[in-house]
Amino acid sequence: MRVLVTGGAGFIGSHVVEALRARGHEAVVYDVRADPAADVRDPAAVRRALAGVDAVSHQAAMVGLGTGFADAAEYVSRNDLGTAVLLTAMAETGVRHLVLAGSMVVYGEGRYACARHGAVRPGPRAVAELAAGRFEPACPVCGADLSPELVSEDAPADPRNVYATTKLTQEHLTAAWARATGSSAVSLRYHNVYGPRMPRDTPYAGVASFFRSALARGEAPRVFEDGRQRRDFVHVRDVAAANAAALEADPAAGALTAYNTGSGEPHTVGEMARALAAAHGGPEPVVTGEYRLGDVRHITADSARLREELGWRPEVGFAQGMAEFARS
């Protein structure tokens, strides 16, 4: 199979390229980092790149929270306009299979349960609550404490920042393309991906990268809130393997199928910071109590559908992955 990998020179995309080639596929890199003319927003360039292609792995995106709402137009341009241009070109050239780099950020806050009211969806956390150090969302009905639970793919979307909004728009565009053309599409909703080649020292990188960069400078990782926010840290090689499995699958035509893509092992951000510090031999993390308004408290999802339907299994455990990442 000949696969065009947009963003194929980037963090996740480069691992997808390696995974595909290891399984005997031809992976074609399309990335402005490798060729300044390879902009996914350029219709003519995208059409040329699609010649002879059987499927597309769409990894090209602007990621992370960035520097605030001032980045909104750039996020929309790179993520949503770029996706629209790619899908239009695929419709014109007859390429009918796409795997999208989705994200768990489309859910907003995770799933919560109240002892009295069952499953509830708390709204965005208020600035006053965060500033007072009250980080846990409360039941929107009675104000009681909540228990975080796993999110399934049928949970309502509730994006809480610009990046999350563009990732949901990418899914809507892809679903519309699949319906209009009778094509098959998969969105792999990545959790917190980490591993070799993760960008360093940029506001668009993930939290694991921030901590590793601090340790490399001999500084203590600075953990926001109280460090107890739950995430699912999934290794980039496992994410790449999920992409290969999705590209080799035969999903339903005319629709978008979403799969949560996580390790299945929730850990707190504080745990992750301590694991990296121990593996690196650096200073212990410092819990700062600071916060970012666009962050959610807990988001961990159930990846059972991906395991059951595509036969994918994560292979890199938390301790092994963090030890490797700390040295990379």
> Among all residues, which ones are annotated catalytic?
163
Tokens of 324: 């490797």
CA distance linking residue 288 with residue 282, whole number of Å: 18
Amino acid at 201: D
Q: Where do the H-state alpha helices sit in the chain?
A: 11-22, 43-49, 72-75, 82-93, 127-131, 162-181, 207-216, 236-248, 269-280, 304-310, 318-327
Q: Are 151 and 104 in contact (CB under 8 A)?
A: yes
For 153, residues 6+ apart whose C-beta sits below 8 A from its C-beta are: 189, 258, 259, 260, 301, 305
Tell me the C-alpha to C-alpha distance, in Å, between residue 195 and each of 12, 31, 168.
9, 20, 25
Inter-axis angle of helices 207-216 and 269-280, nearest 10: 30
